[in-house]
Amino acid sequence: MSYAYLFKYIIIGDTGVGKSCLLLQFTDKRFQPVHDLTIGVEFGARMITIDGKQIKLQIWDTAGQEAFRSITRSYYRGAAGALLVYDITRRDTFNHLTTWLEDARQHSNSNMVIMLIGNKSDLESRREVKKEEGEVFAREHGLIFMETSAKTAANVEEAFINTAKEIYEKIQEGVFDINNEANGIKIGPQHSPTSPSSPSGGPGSSPGSGCC
């Protein structure tokens, strides 16, 4: 399948906050209550549509355990977007956000779009972190914020798609250098790299234009 853009995402956050489940819900539309511990990094992909354009999301789901931290750092640099996930029923996962954010800012490119996600919103009775707290943290650090539930699929699509929208807007504004693949953005095979903002380039509609 051809695409106009390919965006690379990473999912980060403490162990057990539901990173792999968010990915599974997004790519396979299913929920797995018992999930194996992620070892290193796992991979998933899905196509979405923004502004009439096909966009391929390549998502790298990282292990939250401290032991893998040095490995997962290698994935920051090449990502265009990051989902920073905490668990609303576990205060400590919220408290660790600063560390995660510092780590991400230090190793990623400065334009990386970070989406803060409070997961497990279905477990309202066990909530330890108020939604407002998440909102405040996001505002203070210039992040987008959302509460999701990988179990009920609430807001999961939106979380991934809104991040993509943000990246897409940044491209339109010319903030991202799309010719540098280290930014985590690739132009689809049928799309000329010289005219990224031309609205005519629907999927497959520009035959013969240069290939990158």
Interface contacts to another protein, rule CB under 8 A = 1, 8, 40-45, 58, 60, 70-71, 73-75, 77-78, 107, 181, 186
Of the candidates 208, 212, 189, 191, which has an alpha carbon nearest to the alpha carbon of residue 200? 191
- Residue 124 or 177 with smaller CB distance to another protein: 177
CB of 103 to another protein, least distance (A): 11
Environment class of 112 (CB within 10 Å of its CB; exposed 0-12, middle 13-18, buried 19+): buried
Q: Name residue, tokens 């265009």.
A: 80
Of the candidates 88, 73, 54, which has an alpha carbon nearest to the alpha carbon of residue 168? 54
What is the spatial distance between Cα 56 and Cα 152, in angstroms, rounded to a whole number?
A: 24
What is the spatial distance between Cα 9 and Cα 59, in angstroms, rounded to a whole number?
A: 5
- Residue 10 or 146 with smaller CB distance to another protein: 10
What is the spatial distance between Cα 120 and Cα 147, in angstroms, rounded to a whole number?
A: 8
What is the spatial distance between Cα 80 and Cα 109, in angstroms, rounded to a whole number?
A: 8
CB of 2 to another protein, least distance (A): 9
CB of 46 to another protein, least distance (A): 9
- Residue 120 or 186 with smaller CB distance to another protein: 186
- Residue 45 or 175 with smaller CB distance to another protein: 45
CB of 212 to another protein, least distance (A): 10
- Residue 11 or 129 with smaller CB distance to another protein: 11
- Residue 65 or 90 with smaller CB distance to another protein: 65
- Please give the backbone phi and psi of residue 7, each rounded to the nearest 5 degrees, phi first: -110, 140
CB of 40 to another protein, least distance (A): 5
Contact 49, 152 (CB under 8 A): no
- Please give the backbone phi and psi of residue 29, each rounded to the nearest 5 degrees, phi first: 55, 45
CB of 61 to another protein, least distance (A): 10
